[in-house]
Amino acid sequence: MLIEHNVVMKDPRYVDIRFASCYPNLYKTAMSSLGFHIIYDFLNSREDVYCERVVYPHSRSLESNSPLSHFNIVSFSLQYELDYFNVLKMLNNGIVPIRKNDRNLNDPFVIAGGPCATSNPIPMSKFVDLFIIGEAEVILDEVLDTFLELDDPKGEIDAFKDIKGVYVPDNPAKRAIVRNMGDANHPIRQVVSETDDERFRPAFGNAFLLGVSRGCTRGCRFCMAGYLYRPRRETSLRKLFDIAKRGKRATGLRKIALIGAAVSDYSKIDDLCEGLLDMDFRITTPSLRIESITEKLIDTLHKSRLKTITMAPESTWRIRNVLNKIITDEITIEVVKTIFERNMNVKLYFLVGSPTETSEDLNNMVKFIKNLNKLSNKRNAVKISINPLIPKPHTPFQWENFDLDGIGPKINYLKQKLKSIPLKVESLRSSLIQHVLSTGDVEVADIIEKAYRQRTPFKEWKKLSKGWNIDDELPWKNIGVCIKPSFIKEEYQKALRGDTTPWCEKSGCYHCGADK
Ligand code: SF4
């Protein structure tokens, strides 16, 4: 049975907007999303709004067991493209017509946000009335106020199109973000689940989610988050300690998860972790940047009883230059050694299918992984994950196709050469489908609905998987994420030459556009 604490209960008869915040993935994933908690807290701080949570596979709210059809606004958090099918299922089971053109005045207004919406909302534009492009807390208030002014929000959809950070299909949109983290919403009374049922245990376990920073400027050329949310913005150390103290009191949690795109790049990461340790927190973190991990940080994380440190060396030194992830083998080996000396485990992410990758690169990757694995001992292990590189919108690799026929044999080769090492390999097929959903045009909407309704032969997805020429008009052309198109083109050409671009925070601004 699921018991929750800090759930917001309001009488829906006394609010102007019933808002369903929907997460099209499992409870444990939903409750591990700081963004999902932020929306819940931000909206329920308005007296005229009652925000309830609806989590896949359900289509009724956790707060009042109300079906989606009972809400004024139904909002989806799009974190993973493969969740798109779940969106349709939740709408259908929630008695809301799947296609926006089939909805009438009494049906909810359907909106969507999150990284997938911010990067390319087009494939979902036949199902969603309006998209949030950027960070919700600087966009949603104006959307709700406009909604309240209109008799028929769907019929008068153009009333929303000039709101910064809103995409109304077929109109240009510009991303909106929190510029100063002092203004960012940070939920203190986070909903905590009390259960032994693994299905409900969030990814970090029962941990208070602490938003350390947003955005990343390292410039890894395959990483969508690194281009959608620039510049990197930090929450001050004083504010973080205050949030942690109040969060501990409000939730009773003694574990804290550091959330951010590049947590270890936080300028005072050592002080932060030491301070949280002094507050008697157990600390957990997402993947850390290898080159910003200090011995002091490893010691503090070890003292806070963290068992495994996750990092992403991605590939060989040559390919890391193509990816613009400028980390040497030597630093990687040094950090892994230091972690093992503290009796901790290591989890490493690798990519296969990078542009210009050769069989020699694969051989070098095999040697590198074997050398890292040799560092492990009876008490500590290296866990290796290998993922196909999936080209994403707004990144320098956005023009690349997903090379299914090329990557398949490469993965088999790695599996064969590394058969003595336990490998976790992401599915090629779901990666191709993810690529189509991520870089697709409006026609992809039809196959999304078809695949939701019936088994769809993989070859139909394969037909839709394609790359783009560098001068093609891209489906996401109308979505401005404040990065100069010329800069992205330049980065792509540098990648193909194996040239790098140093980290702007250390080497100075190169005016990617995010400063505008
Ligand atoms: S290159 Fe300049 S504008 Fe772009 S994120 Fe770095 S500092 Fe900001």
Residue 99 carries which side chain, given as an amino acid letter? R
The predicted pLDDT at position 196 comes to 77
DSSP string, 347-382: EEEEEE--TT--HHHHHHHHHHHHHHHHT--SS--E
Whole-number Å distance, alpha carbon 505 to ligand 1 midpoint, is 8
Gap from CA of 118 to ligand 1 centroid (Å): 19
Taking CB atoms and a 6 Å cutoff, what residues make up the pocket around ligand 1?
A: 217, 230-231, 504, 509-512, 514-515
User: What 3-state DSSP class applies to 391?
Assistant: coil
Determine phi and psi for 123, rounding to 5 degrees.
Answer: -60, -25
Residue nearest atom 7 of ligand 1, based on CA coordinates: 509
Phi, psi of 425 (to 5 degrees): -120, 130
d(CA 105, CA 155): 8
Domain ranges of the chain: 3-174, 204-439+483-507
Res 300: pLDDT: 97
Low-confidence ranges of the chain (pLDDT < 70): none
Dihedral angle sign, alpha carbons of residues 33, 298, 347, 356: positive
For residue 188, the model assigns a pLDDT of 98
List, in sequence order, the alpha helices (H) in 401-515: 404-417, 428-439, 444-453, 458-464, 485-497, 504-507
Shortest-distance Cα residue to atom 5 of ligand 1: 231
Average pLDDT, the chain: 96
Q: Is the pTM of this model over 0.85?
A: yes
Question: What Cα–Cα distance (Å) separates residue 310 from each residue in 207, 223, 288?
Answer: 18, 17, 6
Q: What length is written for the chain? A: 516
Tell me the CA–centroid distance for residue 84 and ligand 1, in Å.
Answer: 32
Our mutation pick for probing the ligand 1 site, out of 229, 491, 509, counting the most ligand atoms within 8 A of Cβ, is: 509
> 395 CA to middle of ligand 1, Å?
15
Place of tokens 């992205």: 488
Mutate to test the pocket of ligand 1, among 394, 504, 507 (most ligand atoms within 8 A of CB): 504
Q: How many helices (H) and strands (E) does the chain have?
A: 18, 19
The pLDDT score that the predictor gives to residue 203 is 81
**Alpha-carbon gap, residue 494 to 499, rounded angstroms:** 5
Cα dihedral 290/305/191/214 (nearest 10)? -20
* CB contact set of 2 (below 8 Å; sequence gap of 6+): 27, 193, 195, 197, 200
Atom of ligand 1 nearest to the CA of 512: 4
Report the pLDDT value the prediction gives residue 204, as an integer from 0 to 100. Answer: 83
- CATH number 1.10.8.100 is the correct assignment for the domain at 3-174: no
Spacing of C-alpha 378 from chain mean position: 34
From the CB of residue 289, how many other CB atoms can be counted at a distance below 10 Å? 19
- Centre of ligand 1 to C-alpha 389, Å, is 25
CB 290 within 8 A of CB 313: yes
Matching residue, tokens 């919406």? 117
**Ligand 1 pocket mutation, candidates 217, 483, 486, 507, criterion most atoms within 8 A of CB:** 217
Taking the C-alpha atoms of residue 427 and residue 320, their distance in angstroms, rounded to an integer, is 23
Q: Does domain 204-439+483-507 have CATH number 3.80.30.20?
A: yes
Residue 165: the pLDDT is 98
* Residue 36, amino acid: F
Distance of CA 31 to the CA centre of its chain: 14
Give residue 217 CA to ligand 1 midpoint distance, Å: 7
- Ligand 1: which of 220, 507, 515, 516 to mutate, most ligand atoms within 8 Å of CB? 515
Whether the CB-CB separation of 476 and 227 falls below 8 Å is answered with: no
Dist CA 116 CA 444 (whole Å)? 14
User: Would you list the DSSP string of 149-204?
Assistant: H-S-TTTTGGGGTTSTTEE-TTS-EE-B--SSGGGS---SS--EEE---GGGS-TT
Report the distance separating Cα 19 and Cα 16, nearest Å.
10
Q: How far is the CA of 482 from the centre of ligand 1 (A)?
A: 10
Which atom of ligand 1 is found nearest the CA of 510?
1
Please give the angle made by the CA atoms of 33, 431 and 36, to the nearest 5 degrees: 10
Centre of ligand 1 to C-alpha 512, Å, is 5
Contacts 24+ apart (CB under 8 A), 14-17: 15/47, 15/48, 15/49, 15/50, 16/48, 16/49, 16/148, 17/48, 17/49, 17/50, 17/72, 17/73, 17/144, 17/147, 17/148
Q: State the distance from the centre of ligand 1 to the C-alpha of 357, rounded, in angstroms.
A: 28
Place of tokens 């759930």: 7
What is the whole-number distance in angstroms between the Cα of residue 231 and the centre of ligand 1? 6
Going by alpha carbons, the residue nearest to atom 4 of ligand 1 is: 512
- Going by alpha carbons, the residue nearest to atom 2 of ligand 1 is 509
Q: Which of ligand 1's atoms lies nearest the C-alpha of 231?
A: 5
CA of 515 to the centre of ligand 1 (A): 6
* Atom of ligand 1 minimally distant from the CA of 513: 3
* Ligand 1 centre distance from Cα of residue 480 (Å): 16
